[in-house]
Structure 1
Amino acid sequence: MNTITRLSPELQVKLIMLQNKIKGLNKVCVAFSGGVDSTLLLKVAVDVLGKNVMAITVNGAMLPDSEFSEAQNLAKTIGITPLIIEADVFSLKSFVENASDRCYHCKKFIFSQIKDAAIQNHCEVILDGSNLDDLKDYRPGIRALGELGIYSPLKDAELTKQNIRELSAYFGLATATKPSMACLATRIPTNTPITPEALRAVEVGEDYLKSLDLNQYRLRLLGDTGKIECDPKDFETILAHRMTLVSLLKNLGIKTITLDLAGYGCGNMNK
């Protein structure tokens, strides 16, 4: 695990700012996915508010089974057991149709359920792990968070993704070096309908890429072509396992498998 023992003066100020913003709240609910951002947020919230923190994890086709399991284990190390909500995203027409505002509708669908569950548990303040860097990409889901009154303290404390990784290492969190994840639907081009089969293919393919300990990766599904994006440093690893990858992905109905020589790029499907 990557750890650090001292924070820069700038990051110390941001951490204190984050702690103070959370301290000013009474009882909070953290939308917890087990990713880099929400794990740090949950850790700090529990440190500051103790038993006045609940966590909710949403499970559904947009989240790999392996990520769901990891989220539960991570929560236990922080000393909390999340409430689980099962979300049927395929019941949402705007999710299946996959228009450019899919993320807005999906986020509102999911966080409405989180908000309802939080209120039922006498918790009216819901926190999510959006950070300062999220404002640099096309994130229509942020509008849904604003409409529902969801609070993003990491963003409010001006924490970037790198800041969050450094703080995670400082607190000894296993997510400090974890590759960034996103909803599996982001692997499907806009206006291409999303099917359970497509998401399952992406999930199985990325689970295999994950097993190779790559720095960062995506399996984009472009019709019957699977496009692998990863750090150029990991090209040799991909090529060394190419026959296994080809066999695995073709068995999932993907006819052509390519490696993007430009490497991984955050938000490539938005460009």
Structure 2
Amino acid sequence: MKINTTLSPGLSEKLVALKENIKRFAKVSIAFSGGVDSTLLLQVAVDVLGENVLPITVNGAMLPGSEFAEAQELAKTIGAVPLVIDADVFSLENFVKNPADRCYHCKKFIFTQIKDTARANGYEVILDGSNLDDMKDYRPGIKALGELGVFSPLKESGLTKQDIRELSAYYGLPTATKPAMACLATRIPTNTPITPAALTAIEAGEDFLKSLGLSQYRLRLLGETAKIECEPGDFTAIIENRLTLIATLKNLGIKTITLDLAGYNCGNMNG
């Protein structure tokens, strides 16, 4: 990757700490989604450990198909070939029922498969891309990572989301400006059952929003109503393309499409 920016002394120190935290291990497996965090983690791990890095990508209904495809290509450009495992999240009762701690059960389910797959391939250490900012939000899944012994070197090195974006730019990674992503199930209110049809509608709607080049967006599903959240500066793009968006979603069973004038708000479905 082409390095195209300079770093502040403070961020340089954090990068050194990150490399040292990774260097503690002879070989590592990384839960790799192709998002901002795991992409930087993979890049630095490959720099430090070379071929002794195994990225594992989980393919399941909670991840948009376009994100899965991008993750595969991105890993190859970094110099690693992901091992792909399929996760049937709809076989998990506490995913479908969508309780307040759904993320805990889902993370435990998915990372157990990641851990088993890594061990089967000779890797005992599992890394994930949790960062320092994740500690400030409602993230029940972090408990599952601790129970499974997953190590989070970005967090341990004191890296915030902004730090990670700046380091991504430093390494020339295309994810430096990529909108934050999250499991599609987070678009559905707690205790509302999650169905394949609901995730399909959310994915289709967000793929369309992505095609408009929005800086940040979510499509929240409230029964038969879709609520779009985006930055106020992107409202015009939504309005100008509303007819296509309406047709796309109505073909998937959504009756009402709304735009939240408050704009995008991370964690709107938490709790």
Q: TM-score, normalised by structure 2?
A: 0.98
CA deviation profile, 1:176-226 (whole Å, cap 9, x unmatched): 000000000000000000000000000000000000000000000000000
Any residues of structure 2 matched to 1:1-271 within 5 Å, and which? 4-270=4-270
Secondary structure (helix, strand or coil) at the match of 1:47 reads helix
Structure 1: distance between partners of 2:5 and 2:158: 21
Structure 1: distance between partners of 2:31 and 2:25: 16
Structure 1, unaligned runs of 5 or more: none
| Per-residue deviation, 1:5 | 1.6
Code of the residue aligned with 2:148 in structure 1: it is L
Code of the residue aligned with 1:182 in structure 2: it is A
| Per-residue deviation, 1:121 | 1.0
| Per-residue deviation, 1:26 | 1.1
In the alignment, is the contact (CA less than 8 A) between 1:4 and 1:166 conserved in 2? no
| Per-residue deviation, 1:247 | 1.1
Secondary structure (helix, strand or coil) at the match of 1:268 reads coil
Code of the residue aligned with 2:22 in structure 1: it is I
Structure 1: distance between partners of 2:59 and 2:97: 20
| Per-residue deviation, 1:241 | 0.5
Secondary structure (helix, strand or coil) at the match of 1:197 reads helix
CA deviation profile, 1:88-111 (whole Å, cap 9, x unmatched): 000000000000010000000000
Code of the residue aligned with 1:126 in structure 2: it is I
Aligned length: 270
List structure 1 segments (4+ residues) > 6 angstroms apart after TM superposition: none
| Per-residue deviation, 1:13 | 0.4
Q: Percent identity?
A: 73
